[in-house]
Chain A
Amino acid sequence: MSNEVRLQVKNVCKSFGITKAVQNVSFNINKGEVHALIGENGSGKSTLTNMLTGIYPIDSGIFILDGKEIHPKNQIEANNEGVSIIVQELGTLSGLTVAENIFLGHEDRFVKAGIKNTNAMNKEADALLKKYGFERIKAAHMIDEYNFEDRKLVEIVKATYFSPKIVVIDETTTALSQEGREELYKHMERIRNEGNSIIFISHDLPEILDKSDTITVLRDGVYIDTVKSKDMTEDDLKKLMVGREMTGKYYRADYGEKVSDEVVLSVKNVTVPGLIYDVSFDLHKGEILGFGGLSESGMHEVGKAIFGASFDREGSVTLADGTQINDIPTAIKNEIAYTSKDRDNESIVINQSIGDNICLPSLGKLGSGPLKLLSDKKLRAFSDKYAKEISVKMVNTDQFVSELSGGNKQKVVLARWIGRDSDIIVLDSPTRGIDIKVKQDIYQLMDQMRKDGKSIIMISEELMELIGMCDRILIMKDGKISGQLDRNPDMDENSLISMMV
């Protein structure tokens, strides 16, 4: 690692509507270092690196790479400047071959007189795959033939074959098995030794401490500090990430309260082929039951399975009165609520008003007369009541949901189910991409619901909130429940992680 500056981030800002995702962030990245970027979800890490790699336009501020200001408009321009990224989600395109994916946007090298030399392209891609030690992946095959992990390996090749000066690795490791991770670490080491730099985003603090040289901390879009990894402990990092003032009333404060013995929902031997296997558990009245695990552990599918939204589900989901939940209408009729991790696509009707979104599942109850006619006045009163009850930040309920920030969208989703007066609430990643203030609101709301005798299932990738909020945490691994932890003030992330991996 040298002390020569490779990249200067200067006063970079980015807003989405009223949400300030990145505010006036400045720091430097040196040559030949692995520079970690950490912070809670929604702290602005991905937004910042997406601006650097041309995925988002910059609102204001500049990036200076090796003394030269860069303004990439897309990933290919960023590549040409010497910056590349391995994204959090799937970054390869279906319907194309492995080679076409690797060279997408750079195929001009293989085009002569308009005709693409597919053989030459495949040959070069095969050579690259061999050099990286991924011989089993074949350049000429369709990318669809490979699983998520292999496709990530293809992305590693795609992002690094041309020796970029900076490679951004955005939350990639959680998607990989230990074997895949080792491959990635190997290439991180190689890139570093070649004198190039890596911006490494991960939620895995031990991994951060082990693999990075320098760490920059962001919180709520604001730059907090840049520190040397060797001087830090996990606790130091956590303090920097969450901020001292956040302890106290953030999570639930109670310990040792007895959970009711009354079972409200019983899940028996539930299997969803390819996703979860033989999952069984009981949910009690007034309980917050947490599900933790890696993103691909199957925990997100558990929420869908309970709500009757899974395909080919086997096993049973039974309510206290014996009702079997096999489809979504039955689930809603029996006062089960579900909020998906994919808020914009699966929870919210984005091009509708706040009012419409809140009333949607309760329309059956709101109609009057034999024809169940709906009255605007009644709908408005209903949506106003619940939107105000959980203080959605809005002009009025006619405002479109698309104009709201992530946190407020989530509040609309919650208002909908509170309005429906659901008894069993399944929350998948309820605080994903939400700032600390709204998070606190949601935690307080959950606590209140619990006290009102509602039962909550909370599925989350954020271990701290599971520890802070749940009466009981079930850990998922490879589609199965791998362990259980009860609420306890001494519980820490390590005890969860050891069951997760």
Chain B
Amino acid sequence: MSSSMKTTEKKKLSGKAKGYLILIVLLVASWVIFKIATPGNFGSPKQMLQYFQASLLAATGAVGFYFVMVMGMFDFSIGANIVLSSILGCVLATNFGLGYVGFVVGSIVCGALVGLLNGAFYVKLRIPSMIVTTGLALIYEAVANYIAGGVEQTLPSDMRAFGSMPGNVILAVISFIVAYIFLNYTKVGTYTYAIGSNEFVAKNMGINVNKYKVIAFLISGAFFGVEAILSISYGSSMVAVTGMASMSRNFIPTMGCFFGMAFRKYGIPIQAIIIGEFVINIIFYGFIALGAPTAIQDVITGLALLIIITLTTRVDKGEIVK
């Protein structure tokens, strides 16, 4: 009996270590490939730091989105949420003269409200989350466009502390810690996994499944609010696009979240999201350094990400993948 105990102990230790090892290998490999392809203008320590800072944007959103994804739901309004929250935050800060407080609180509360709406509509209408959030995304885009008055919103230069070091890193790190605490040290985290594992059993255990689904969307929304702050600070302005154009912002946070799902079995989902987003950004900037045409960039990026996820996600035999 003691020997079987030892092996499980050993297995567990190596599990986490193995997860980190795979992530680091991916990180180094993506750097090495582009460094060899274009040694001159890619991958110096200073540039790597830039890539990392850029990756923090999507990473902050993805750690919140993880709660929604673990429960088996999806969100197509990510981009619309970021656009709306950043524009509202910017307008509160400038037009209403509320400064940093208006900017930060406004963006995060707006993001959380969008999440709350997503969750409430999903639970009440009882239709798939993908469809609910797609429909709502159109509305969020329209609202953002109305608030912006159709004009590009620029964050004043004296309010861009979160666009560069150390402001962006501090805000991101705080977000990661909060997500980590939620996931590991609150009921919400336990119930998120319980509902994701078997909703019926979870319900039988007295868990108010609908309530926690809404909470997951709310948490996710608030973190996209943080991503909104980082995004407009980094890019200095935001255009209130319409006609689903905000959807292009969905991709990177979602991909990072897939990293989290894939590395969940190693017990390091949040860490995997952070490093995963970094890897994705290295690939993006690598292509820019190469000067490859956009179409080719997109093809290779898409393929590379599919390969990474396929290799890291092991689906059990016979398991149905949807």
Q: Could you tell me which A residues sit within 8 Å of B by CB distance?
A: 54-55, 74-77, 91, 93-96, 100, 104-105, 107-108, 111, 114-116, 118, 136, 138, 141-142, 145, 311-312
A276: shortest Cβ distance to chain B, in Å?
15
> Which residue of B1, B12, B190, B198 contacts A136 across the interface (Cβ within 8 Å)?
B1
Q: Is B207 on the interface with A (CB-CB < 8 A)?
A: yes
Determine if B206 and A105 form an interchain contact, defined as CB atoms under 8 angstroms apart.
Answer: yes
Determine if B190 and A100 form an interchain contact, defined as CB atoms under 8 angstroms apart.
Answer: yes
Q: CA–CA, A115 to B202, complex, Å?
A: 21
Q: CA–CA, A22 to B196, complex, Å?
A: 32
Given A74-B203, A74-B204, A104-B190, 9 new contacts (CB under 8 A):
A94-B197, A95-B194, A95-B197, A104-B194, A111-B186, A114-B186, A116-B187, A138-B5, A141-B12
Q: CA–CA, A114 to B184, complex, Å?
A: 12
Q: What would be 18 A-B contacts, judged by CB atoms less than 8 Å apart?
A: A74-B204, A75-B204, A76-B205, A76-B206, A93-B198, A95-B70, A95-B193, A95-B196, A95-B197, A95-B264, A104-B205, A115-B181, A116-B189, A116-B190, A136-B1, A138-B5, A311-B318, A312-B317
Known: A74-B205, A77-B206, A105-B205. A118 touches B184 (CB 8 A): yes
Question: Which residues of B, 76-93, contact A by the 8 Å Cβ criterion?
Answer: none
Interface centre among B11, B186, B204 (most CB of A within 10 A): B204
A110: shortest Cβ distance to chain B, in Å?
9
Q: Is B4 on the interface with A (CB-CB < 8 A)?
A: yes
Interface centre among B196, B206, B267, B317 (most CB of A within 10 A): B206
Determine if A91 and B186 form an interchain contact, defined as CB atoms under 8 angstroms apart.
Answer: no
A127: shortest Cβ distance to chain B, in Å?
17
Majority DSSP secondary structure for residues of A touching B:
loop
Question: Taking CB as reference atom, which chain B residue is nearest A50?
Answer: B204
Determine if B193 and A96 form an interchain contact, defined as CB atoms under 8 angstroms apart.
Answer: yes
Contact with A along B171-196 (1 / 0, CB 8 A): 00000000001001111011001101
B182: shortest Cβ distance to chain A, in Å?
9
> Which residues of chain B are within 8 angstroms of A76 by Cβ–Cβ distance?
205-206
Question: Taking CB as reference atom, which chain A residue is nearest B1?
Answer: A136
Q: Is B201 on the interface with A (CB-CB < 8 A)?
A: yes
Known: A115-B185, A118-B184. A145 touches B201 (CB 8 A): no
Q: Is B8 on the interface with A (CB-CB < 8 A)?
A: yes
B197: shortest Cβ distance to chain A, in Å?
4
A96: shortest Cβ distance to chain B, in Å?
5
Determine if A118 and B202 form an interchain contact, defined as CB atoms under 8 angstroms apart.
Answer: no
The 4 A-B residue pairs whose C-beta atoms are closest, nearest first, are: A76-B206, A95-B193, A105-B205, A311-B317
A365: shortest Cβ distance to chain B, in Å?
28
Question: Taking CB as reference atom, which chain B residue is nearest A101?
Answer: B194
